Amino acid sequence: MADSTVTYEQLNDLSAEFDDAETELIRQDVIVKAPLYEKRQKLIAQIPNFWPLVFEQASPDIDEFIQPSDSSLLLNSLVNLTVSRFEIEDGGKGDPRSLLFRFEFNENEHFEDKVIEKKFWQRKAKCGWTGLVSEPVEIQWKKGKDLTGGLLGTVKKVWAARQAQTKDAASKASKDLTIDERALKKKIEDTGLGSMSFFAWFGYVGHNVSAEESQEATETARRERLSRQAGDETTDTNGANDGGNDEDDHDDENELEIFPEGETLAIAISEDLWPNAIKYFTQAQEQDEVSDDDFESEAGDEKEGEEETAYSDEEPPPAKRLKT
Amino acid sequence: MADSTVTYEQLNDLSAEFDDAETELIRQDVIVKAPLYEKRQKLIAQIPNFWPLVFEQASPDIDEFIQPSDSSLLLNSLVNLTVSRFEIEDGGKGDPRSLLFRFEFNENEHFEDKVIEKKFWQRKAKCGWTGLVSEPVEIQWKKGKDLTGGLLGTVKKVWAARQAQTKDAASKASKDLTIDERALKKKIEDTGLGSMSFFAWFGYVGHNVSAEESQEATETARRERLSRQAGDETTDTNGANDGGNDEDDHDDENELEIFPEGETLAIAISEDLWPNAIKYFTQAQEQDEVSDDDFESEAGDEKEGEEETAYSDEEPPPAKRLKT
């Protein structure tokens, strides 16, 4: 081939083109499947314990974050989950990768909230990093029932204090932790991430990238890419968008993160648990199902409204027909 | 809600609607990204060792199937990989989920082949099972160098014999294994699936579902679904497409399968390794990369054509600019 020199910039530019294509395909996906998700919502609203059973069948990359006490709380009180792409709802032109998780709960012994929502925004940082960022969400824990042992509340407090700082002060103070931050850091170390409650996920923050920084970085990267593609191969991007050292600028944020895998979990729920919920629910049913023969021999005699196939909160239904 | 009864059929019908939507979205995906994959092919063709380095970074669900001897063969001789959706190429109206893997190799000590191809067809069985099926592919091993210890050849022989049988004979003989089949079964047991070569994947067959059966099952399922949706809820599908006992009809096939996870691996390669190849390649580079400072301090003096950043077959390139 005449030109046998391949640069990182060329590979990264192509990756960016793939990302753009993928983003538009996600937009299509959301539009095409919206009526199907509505239909699903109507069906599963009639099945108590649908979501708890789905969570019980979750793949290991979700299940590993669910402690026994979380599992028991979810099983007893999770009544609905919806995952939506809030930036493109109602004709919005935002990023289809941004996510809103809405959990609905019954009265339970742990917290007062009936609804807990968490938003993740797709952002691009000046250093080239792209991904989901969020804000800590508070939960109104009942006395002595906080599954995060106070961590979630502390995260919110620390985050609010940082938000209140001017940018100058934040930059000056960034190396010295405040009293609250030191307390948070110690609590995180004491808890150990392996035994962290699923509900600590609501405290995930991620990289500190504002909407403005993201928009600017996106535009700059696109401009540079176009200029390179127009033949100006000497454009010096000084490491921006080079994919090489994405994490460097943000390393110091991580020590106050109570749920470092927050983005991974958000993606696993939105791309696996949420779209495949019926599959997981069916799987849960099959595990407790009487054999098909048993079902079929009874089917003829079965009358609508009989109680033996009724679906209670305590146990999965034994037979083919699900009822509430 | 007025109607509070949800049946498995309703859930399965909705899943089928999701599947149909997903299939069309995959078709879109393939069309939209085709020019990007062409562009990528032109770039990576200039980078020796691109694919071996990508395989080295493969996620655990691929890596677990690659033995040390496979890895060494791939590293030394894999020169190209393409994954294509052969049923929809050149305007074809087939299933976009069907896959063609094409591996290109350099001269190597293990086999004569320069190209090894494997096709997977997306099929639906009468029992409701859907997934990828394949045919065993032979490899021209050099003497004493067969990484599958003769298994691949035996699988091909057994498969060809079964294909040659009439349907009646096959059904009569299905419980009694032939001499070759018994030999194959013993070999599989002796090898142990955990230490099976990656190249045994080329012997994956999967469920025995013909194109005709698949087409018929697809049409029947769609007809029944439409009829149920039109209000005829009493349609008795006799377990067809009920998702409940998909595997029952095919259990006896599995004992002669040398690579039971063949479909899983095909999906992992096509949906992870293939689309994310640049990411994995970059990851491989970063592991051996000199620091950015080193690179940048040299960059000014660097002349096009200097050999210190040349990219050899033996080691990953040390600097930012990749050359062949």
Q: Is the pLDDT of residue B252 over 80?
A: no
What is the Cα–Cα distance from A80 to A41, expressed in whole angstroms? 9
Lowest mean pLDDT among A31-45, A101-115, A292-306, B98-112: A292-306
Cβ of A6 within 8 Å of Cβ of B46? The answer is: yes
pLDDT at A148: 94
Q: Do B1 and A25 lie within an 8 Å CB cutoff?
A: no
Alpha carbon separation from B4 to A44, A322, B231 (Å, rounded): 10, 9, 16
Smallest CA-to-CA distance from B131 within B258, B247, B276 is with B247
Of A9, A18, A39, A57, which to mutate for an interface test with B (greatest number of B Cβ within 10 Å)?
A18
Asked whether the ipTM of the predicted complex exceeds the cut of 0.85, the reply is no
Provide the pLDDT for residue B269: 98
CB contact under 8 A, B1 and A46: yes
Average pLDDT over residues B265-289: 93
- pLDDT surpasses 60 at B317: no
State the pLDDT at residue B172.
57
Q: In this predicted structure, what is the pLDDT of residue A179?
A: 85
Give the mutation candidate from A7, A13, A14 for the B interface (greatest B CB count, under 10 A). A14
Predicted local confidence at residue A223, as pLDDT:
93
Tell me the pLDDT tens digit for each residue of B149-158.
999 999 999 9
Name the pLDDT band for B289 (thresholds 50, 70, 90): low
Select the residue of A36, A278, A286 nearest B11 (Cβ to Cβ): A278
pLDDT of A234 reads 52
Q: What is the DSSP string of A225-276?
A: HHHHHTT-TT---TTTT-SSSTTGGGGGGGGG-S-TTHHHHHHHIIIIITTT
Helix ranges restricted to H, chain A: 8-44, 50-56, 60-63, 68-77, 151-164, 167-173, 179-191, 211-229, 262-268, 277-287, 292-299
The model's confidence at residue A301, banded by pLDDT at 50, 70 and 90, is very low
Q: Cα separation of A13 and A229, whole Å?
A: 9
Mean predicted confidence (pLDDT) in B108-123:
98
Tell me which DSSP letter residue B272 carries.
Answer: I
- CB A75, CB A92: distance < 8 Å: no
Q: How confident is the model at residue A309 (pLDDT cuts 50, 70, 90)?
A: very low
| Per-residue confidence (pLDDT) for residue B49, from 0 to 100 | 92
Spatial distance between the Cα atoms of A158 and B44, rounded to a whole number of angstroms: 47
Which of the pair, A170 or A239, is modelled with greater confidence? A170
B96 or A254, greater pLDDT: B96
Helices B277-287/B8-44 angle, 10° precision = 60
A131 phi-psi bin (left φ>0, alpha ψ -120 to 50, beta other): left
Selected residue with higher pLDDT from B79 and A318: B79
Q: Where are the alpha helices (DSSP H) in chain B?
A: 8-44, 50-56, 60-63, 68-77, 151-164, 167-173, 179-191, 211-229, 262-268, 277-287, 292-299
CB contact under 8 A, A4 and B46: yes
A8 with B324: Cβ contact below 8 A: no
- The confidence band for A307, taking pLDDT boundaries of 50, 70 and 90, is very low
- Go through the domains of chain B in sequence order and give each one's CATH number: 8-278 (3.30.1120.90)
Q: What is the pLDDT of residue A295?
A: 38
pLDDT, mean over chain A: 83
A81: which strand partners?
Answer: A103
Q: Which of B11, B28, B45 sits opposite A282 (nearest CB)?
A: B11
Q: Per mean pLDDT, which range of A82-91, A253-262, B30-39 is the poorest?
A: A253-262
**Which neighbouring-strand residues pair with A118?**
A101
Q: Residue B105: what are its φ and ψ, rounded to 5°?
A: -125, 150
pLDDT tens digits along B32-77: 999 999 999 999 999 989 999 999 999 999 999 999 999 999 999 9
Mean pLDDT within A223-251: 59
CB spacing of B4 vs A46 below 8 angstroms = yes
pLDDT in the model for residue A298: 38
CA A167/CA A154 separation, integer angstroms:
21
What is the tens place of the pLDDT at every residue in A119-128? 999 999 999 8
Lowest mean pLDDT segment, chosen from A7-21, A272-286, B132-146, B187-201:
B187-201
| C-alpha to C-alpha distance for A161 and A164, rounded to whole angstroms | 5
Q: How far is A135 from chain B (nearest CA, A)?
A: 28
Residue B80 has a pLDDT of: 97
Statement: residue A97 has pLDDT above 90:
yes
Res. A1: pLDDT tops 60 = no
By the 10 Å C-beta count (0-12 exposed, 13-18 middle, 19+ buried), B103 is classed as buried
Looking at per-residue pLDDT, the higher value among A296 and B219 belongs to B219
DSSP-based three-state secondary structure for B33: helix
**Higher per-residue pLDDT: A216 or B252:** A216
Q: Is the pLDDT of residue A296 over 60?
A: no
What is the rounded average pLDDT of the residues B135-164? 93
User: What DSSP designation does B304 have?
Assistant: T
Question: Region B140-151: what's the mean pLDDT?
Answer: 95
Place of tokens 């799987």: A283
Mean pLDDT of B196-206: 96
Does the pLDDT value for residue A291 go beyond 90? no
* Residue A72 CB burial class (10 angstroms; 0-12, 13-18, ≥19): middle
CA B292 to chain centre: 37
> pLDDT tens digits, residue range A110-145?
999 999 999 999 999 999 899 999 999 999 999 999
